[in-house]
């Protein structure tokens, strides 16, 4: 593309308004990569073999301090598509249902279709599908091209072709029976062609869609979102990409202990990684060096595999002469721990889980091969792309928490804010402010008083590996960053069915719960309150309606009775007995005793998303409807 033509296109973008015809607007190609940290050649990683992403960086502005807004797949993608923080929407969980909680939300592709006349399409992993979540078909005009996230070709990886735990999660199968399923392999490397795996097939379909779009040039611009699964676990990639890396030369973790003086709520051991073999199921200590090398090798090989698929898509953009009027964005949904701090995968507020790559190529606006230390967030991409396309500033039902990065695209030294914000919920909610030098994390239950908060502070100039929490020794820095955090709206609770979770006071109380269940599948939570230490759950297991009580971490199943597909229920839980009525038929069991303390996790209806209150693995959504739930408590006689 010539300089003069670039300048003409940039001027058109600048002058374009809502009155412009659709044909005058730039196309948008949004490339999403699951679990991709900045382990890329263009970000200075000497071990990466990512020539195609590196080539994209040469025609893009690279954001060196870019952060996701929550290091979990589904919430991170919601923040991107809504332009709103999870703390503004209540969409914190893998099983969060967008249209139940925000039925009128307008996502980025919906906005482009409505205000710019765009044809919107999606392929691969865009919204999170799995863990009880089914994505958001309403966001795109064309049917979504869906393919696998968890995928194996070698039968040995699945104990002879059995359904594995993570396959079940990502296909919404047997969600209440995860622990009974075998673990799949953490990695495999067959000698196959690229399109034997989903990312190769997604790349092929993206090229086909681009060819169709090229035939519409001058008629309708496109907004195509292409999502790739690797380097998400399992590290399933053709052997040739493993061969690009010498495992003995790849970097092992430098520091495998949690930060000194960090609050216990901030740390992580096990989690997602434990659902894969041969990872130890009790992942309390460092992995054996040989396993670490294999996992790290798998991550880099998977990144090289997805880089090759992205390269094919970018080559098609050039060959079809679409690059001259197409904005290209590459975004990783969150980072990935590779044994640093003794942590694997994501789900923390630490640097490796939250720092992401963002590359933006806007012909005539961005200078290729440039970089910026402007702190950027996922929520910024909605207003940024809207402005680049010449659309009116977003006016949508949900809050827009992002800011346009267009001033930075034009001048990388410009600044539109001096920090990034992100959050992660555990037993408490951790909200973080990340400046060029520091990160402050405040851990506090939603609605709790200031004196209950715990803080983390890290100085990335003196301690880039986050070895020590400095909050107690740097009170002035903590106070300064707390003032920034105080400018953000109060976080909303995890929300269910459009309203805040109700959390009855059940400590030392008898509890009566009633309601109606319709169209229920064989498994899933009807009502639950509590989590890893204390709580109860009324849930279905193979069409058995079961009542579990958790006391000091141990679960006792009190009752389990056959249930029809639709039924009324009433449960009465006292210190001596539990009575369950299903369509007026009564069953009784001996009570293990009342719950002695108020559980930290609130009541959930129709799902249990965070930590399991019963004998199942969370998230555990019910495929059905629960209505008319009433909870009454009374003191024990």
Nearest Cα neighbor of 613 from 558, 560, 555 is 555
Most confident of 122-136, 272-286, 453-467: 453-467
- Of 172-176, 305-309, 383-387, the poorest mean pLDDT is in 172-176
CA distance 179 to 11: 58
Q: Sign of torsion, CA 241 242 247 250?
A: positive
Neighbours of 252 (CB within 10 A): 12
Choosing from 52, 115, 128, 297, the catalytic residue is 128
Ordered DSSP codes for 390-415: TPPPP--SS-------HHHHH-TT--
Query: Is it the case that residue 21 has pLDDT exceeding 50?
Result: yes
Please report, to the nearest 10 degrees, the dihedral formed by the alpha carbons of residues 475, 478, 479, 480 taken in order: 120
Tell me the per-residue pLDDT of 386-396, one tens digit each, with 9 for 90 and over: 999 999 999 99
pLDDT confidence band for 20 (50 / 70 / 90) = low
Give the pLDDT confidence of 130-143 residue by residue, as tens digits. Answer: 988 889 999 999 99
| Distance in angstroms (rounded) separating the CA atoms of residues 83 and 90 | 13
Of the ranges 283-292, 352-361, 555-564, which one carries the lowest mean pLDDT score?
283-292
Q: What is the pLDDT of residue 267?
A: 95
pLDDT for 500 equals: 32
Angstrom distance (rounded) from CA 216 to CA 213: 5
Residue 608 pLDDT class (50, 70, 90 cuts): confident
3 state SS for 168-228: HHHCCCCCCCHHHCCCEECEECCCCCHHHCHHHHHHHHHHHHHHHHHHCCCCCCEEEEEEE
Mean pLDDT, range 11-26, rounded to an integer:
61
Return the closest-CA partner of residue 115 out of 11, 224, 25.
25
Nearest residue to 138 (alpha-carbon basis) of 127, 148, 149 = 127
Neighbours of 63 (CB within 10 A): 26
Report how far apart, in Å, the C-alpha atoms of 411 and of each of 67, 323, 390, 406 are.
20, 21, 19, 9
Cis geometry, peptide bond prior to residue 559 (ω within 30 degrees of 0):
no
- Rounded percentage of the chain residues whose pLDDT exceeds 70: 94
Q: What is the mean pLDDT of the chain?
A: 92
pLDDT digits (tens, 9 = 90+) for 416-435: 999 999 999 988 999 999 99
pTM: 0.80
pLDDT of res. 603: 85
Q: Which of 73, 232, 297, 539 is catalytic?
A: 73
Maximum average pLDDT range among 6-15, 93-102, 279-288: 93-102
Residue 128 falls in the annotated catalytic set: yes
Read off the pLDDT band of 5 (50, 70, 90). very low
DSSP code, position 603: E
The pLDDT of 89-101, averaged and rounded, is 89
Q: What is the pLDDT of residue 152?
A: 98
Question: Distance (Å, rounded) from C-alpha 2 to C-alpha 11?
Answer: 14
Q: What is the mean pLDDT of residues 101-114?
A: 95
Q: What is the mean pLDDT of residues 269-275?
A: 93
Backbone phi and psi for residue 156, each to the nearest 5 degrees, phi listed first: -65, -20
Residue 599: its pLDDT value, please?
85
Annotated active-site residue 73? The verdict is yes
DSSP classification of residue 139: G
Q: Name the pairing type of β-strands 535-541 and 524-530.
A: antiparallel
* pLDDT band at residue 284 under the 50/70/90 scheme: low
């Amino acid at each position: 593309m010539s300089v003069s033509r670039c300048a003409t296109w940039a001027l058109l973008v600048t002058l374009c308004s809502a009155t412009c015809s659709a044909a005058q607007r730039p196309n948008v190609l949004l490339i999403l990569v699951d679990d991709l940290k900045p382990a890329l050649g263009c970000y200075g990683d000497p071990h990466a073999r990512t020539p195609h992403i590196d080539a994209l960086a040469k025609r893009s502005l690279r954001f060196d301090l870019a952060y996701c807004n929550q290091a979990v797949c589904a919430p991170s993608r919601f923040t991107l598509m809504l332009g709103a923080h999870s703390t503004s929407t209540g969409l914190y969980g893998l099983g969060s249902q967008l249209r139940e909680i925000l039925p009128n939300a307008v996502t980025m592709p919906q906005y482009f279709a409505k205000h710019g006349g765009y044809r919107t399409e999606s392929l691969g992993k865009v919204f999170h599908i799995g863990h009880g979540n089914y994505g958001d078909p309403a966001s795109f005009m064309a049917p979504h091209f869906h393919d696998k996230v968890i995928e194996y070709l070698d039968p040995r990886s699945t104990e002879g072709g059995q359904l594995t735990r993570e396959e079940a999660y990502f296909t919404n199968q047997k969600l209440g029976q995860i622990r009974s399923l075998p673990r799949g392999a953490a990695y495999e490397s067959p000698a196959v062609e690229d399109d034997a795996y989903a990312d190769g097939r997604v790349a092929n379909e993206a090229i086909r869609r681009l060819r169709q779009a090229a035939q519409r040039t001058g008629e309708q611009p496109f907004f195509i979102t292409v999502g790739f699964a690797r380097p998400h676990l399992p590290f399933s990639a053709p052997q040739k990409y493993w061969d690009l890396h010498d495992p003995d030369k790849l970097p092992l973790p430098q520091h495998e202990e949690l930060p000194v003086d960090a609050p216990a709520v901030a740390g992580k051991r096990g989690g997602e990684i434990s659902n894969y073999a041969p990872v130890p199921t009790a992942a309390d200590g460092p992995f054996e060096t040989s396993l670490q090398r294999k996992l790290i090798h798998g991550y880099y090989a998977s990144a090289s595999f997805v880089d090759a698929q992205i390269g094919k898509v970018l080559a098609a953009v050039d060959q079809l002469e679409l690059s001259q009027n197409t904005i290209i964005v590459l975004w990783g949904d969150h980072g990935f721990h590779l044994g640093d701090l003794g942590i694997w995968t994501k789900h923390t507020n630490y640097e490796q889980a939250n720092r992401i790559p963002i590359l933006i190529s806007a012909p005539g606006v961005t200078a290729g091969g440039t970089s910026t230390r402007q702190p950027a967030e996922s929520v910024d991409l909605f207003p940024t792309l809207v402005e680049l396309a010449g659309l009116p500033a977003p006016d949508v039902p949900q809050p827009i928490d992002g800011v346009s990065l267009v001033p930075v695209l034009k001048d990388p030294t410009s600044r539109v804010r001096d920090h990034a914000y992100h959050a992660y919920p555990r037993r408490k909610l951790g909200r973080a402010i990340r400046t060029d030098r520091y990160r402050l994390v405040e851990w506090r239950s939603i609605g709790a008083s200031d004196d209950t908060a715990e803080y983390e502070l890290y100085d990335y100039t003196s301690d880039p590996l986050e070895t020590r929490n400095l909050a107690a020794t740097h009170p002035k820095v903590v106070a300064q960053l707390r003032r920034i955090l105080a400018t953000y709206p109060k976080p909303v609770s995890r929300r269910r069915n459009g309203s805040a979770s109700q959390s009855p006071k059940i400590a030392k109380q008898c509890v009566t719960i009633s309601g109606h269940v319709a169209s229920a599948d064989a498994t899933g939570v009807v009502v639950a309150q509590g989590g890893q230490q204390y709580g109860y759950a009324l849930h279905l297991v193979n069409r058995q309606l079961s009542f579990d009580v958790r006391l000091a971490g141990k679960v006792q199943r009190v009752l389990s009775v056959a249930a029809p597909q639709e039924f009324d229920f009433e449960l009465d839980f006292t210190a001596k007995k539990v009575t369950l009525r299903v369509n007026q038929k009564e069953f009784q069991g001996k009570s293990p005793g009342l719950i002695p303390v108020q559980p930290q996790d609130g009541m959930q209806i129709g799902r249990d998303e965070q930590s399991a209150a019963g004998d199942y693995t969370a998230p555990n959504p019910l495929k059905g409807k629960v209505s008319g739930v009433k909870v009454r408590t009374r003191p024990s006689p």
